[in-house]
């Protein structure tokens, strides 16, 4: 006899909690950060350093584990990480909203939303990190060793949607400012979408890849993600039009016999596939495309928050927090 949906859900929840228990056993390091382990791509992250997007992208999942298990230890672990980040001196050598840092900023605003807008600390940290770019095509540059590097990677294109979902709860009178900024960044990413994986805004280049190593496309979801959020927030038809352009381009240039493949050089007249369909193409790119063309009541944004891999997690209502009694000894909720 096949197991019921409830039994399957229970098994999945138990497995998730067990994974959290294993992680908590690892995270007993004095710094309160999780053990980053070994990084094949970034050697320095294997020598006592940690990646912001790694240890800073645990909050949604571990708060949800506390909800599943009733055990506050999961929330306490990630709150310790946040407290440490609030205390330490902020870096000045390399600051980026792209790879290695991206999802940390995303999780600040999403932690606030997932808490039913009670997590004021996450809200404060998020808005203190926001800063508008210069005029023209709006983009998010990188700070490297005291020099502004006018490059924006494809990974940073999620920020249009991130800024959009945070627009309602920004400083007084700033809602339209944030919505405009979100729309401008999403527009920039649309302009560059067919051009490259990373694009520059200097030396006469605008939203263009000037390096051979930046010309690939590996079926990334970030631009589609922003289209979906901006459609849900504004219902401007251009976001669905841009999404359909992406569908047609994927079918024309990336479709192969066994699925879809990345492209080595988007500027080449003849397509050269990399013979790889990334896992995030199914879990994120296609999911966000589906949601873009679905009704708003399918996983509505007021009830669900998507983690950095596009898995939906339910908003924890204030009433649920009170019913579960998830308070500490000082009377504050675990999300404060």
Residue 323 a catalytic site member: no
- Cβ–Cβ < 8 Å for 135, 202: no
Strand partners, 143: 95, 148
Structure-derived torsion over alpha carbons of residues 263, 265, 269, 275, reported in degrees to the nearest 10: -30
**Which residue in the list 106, 197, 225, 284 is annotated as catalytic?**
197
- Cβ–Cβ < 8 Å for 291, 228: yes
Which residue from 127, 113, 129, 139 is spatially nearest to 52, judged by alpha carbons? 129
Catalytic residues: 197
């Amino acid at each position: 006899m096949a197991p019921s949906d409830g039994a399957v859900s229970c098994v999945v929840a138990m497995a998730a909690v067990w994974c959290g228990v294993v992680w908590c056993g690892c995270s007993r390091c004095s710094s309160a950060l999780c053990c980053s382990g070994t990084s094949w791509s970034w050697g320095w992250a294997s020598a006592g350093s940690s990646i912001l997007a790694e240890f800073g992208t645990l909050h949604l999942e571990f708060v949800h584990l506390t909800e599943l298990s009733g055990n506050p230890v999961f929330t306490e672990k990630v709150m310790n990480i946040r407290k440490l980040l609030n205390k330490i001196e902020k870096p000045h050598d390399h600051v980026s909203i792209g790879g290695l840092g991206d999802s940390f900023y995303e999780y600040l605003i999403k932690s606030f939303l997932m808490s039913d807008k009670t997590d004021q600390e996450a809200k404060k940290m998020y808005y203190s990190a926001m800063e508008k770019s210069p005029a023209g095509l709006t983009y998010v540059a990188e700070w490297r060793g005291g020099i502004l590097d006018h490059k924006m990677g494809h990974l940073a294109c999620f920020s249009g949607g991130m800024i959009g979902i945070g627009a309602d709860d920004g400083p007084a009178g700033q809602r339209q400012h944030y919505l405009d900024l979100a729309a401008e960044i999403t527009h920039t990413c649309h302009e560059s979408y067919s051009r490259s994986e990373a694009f520059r805004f200097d030396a006469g280049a605008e939203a263009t890849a000037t390096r051979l190593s930046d010309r690939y496309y590996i079926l990334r979801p970030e631009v589609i993600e922003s289209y979906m959020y901006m459609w849900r927030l504004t219902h401007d038809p251009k976001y669905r039009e841009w999404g359909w352009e992406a569908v047609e381009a994927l079918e024309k240039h990336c479709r192969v016999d066994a699925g879809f493949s990345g492209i080595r050089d988007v500027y080449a007249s003849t397509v050269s596939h990399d013979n790889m369909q990334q896992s995030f193409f199914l879990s994120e790119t296609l999911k966000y495309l589906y949601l873009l063309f679905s009704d708003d009541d399918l996983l509505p944004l007021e009830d669900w928050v998507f983690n950095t891999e596009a898995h939906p997690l339910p908003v924890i209502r204030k009433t649920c927090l009170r019913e579960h009694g998830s308070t500490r000894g000082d009377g504050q909720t675990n999300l404060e």
